[in-house]
Structure 1
Amino acid sequence: MKQSFCVYGKVQAVMFRRTFCLGAKKRGFDAGATNSREDRDKVTCSLVGDREHVERFLEELQVSSELNSWGAKVESIQLLDKFVSLERHEVTTENVEDKPWSTDVEFYI
């Protein structure tokens, strides 16, 4: 299954993209995430994986109180009709480890 979606909530400046990509990678998915330039409460994401597991991960993103120790939290998810290819994302499961992230964050997903 290939699915792109927008997440809304406390998702920028709180290590959400890193948290999302590492969580996806841990579950065996290919994934990508890109911050919205127009809306600081929005990140566009894509996931590639088994349908049942992708749906479960999307549900987990929404029901978790906080996704990391920086307070990242998803309030809602809007599925997109068109898939955004992973190469178009700023952060992916392929490059997440190569970014100069802050190291003082704990991941809960």
Structure 2
Amino acid sequence: MTLSETLHYELADAGSNVGVSVLCPAWMRTRIHESHRNQSGELAAQSASQTEEAVRGKVADLIADGRDPAEAAALVVDAVRSGAFYILTHPGIKPYFARRFEDILEERNPSVEGV
């Protein structure tokens, strides 16, 4: 995010008409959580630990409730065309950003609740 913000400032300072946007996605309905299906050989033969299986199950549930990638893509196109800098694909992610900045302003270690 910081690199994109810096690029935004530098391009603006240079008088450029090039825009910069930062995509801040949350869960999308994809199969990324099933990437283990692509493993071959020795890795494919290893069975997942109980912890790994629990994490996979939780992620699968989150992804099932996620946003359709085509909807997110349309949102991104509209946001870029309108010159938006921060593009949040899910309104529900705003409290996480608020907590992050509260931690920074209060000089606290990053909160881990709800992550």
Bin for the TM-score computed over the shorter chain: under 0.3
Q: Which has the higher helix share?
A: 2
Structure (1 or 2) with the greater strand fraction: 1
Larger radius of gyration: 2
Larger RCO, structures 1/2 (Cα 8 Å, 6+ apart): 1
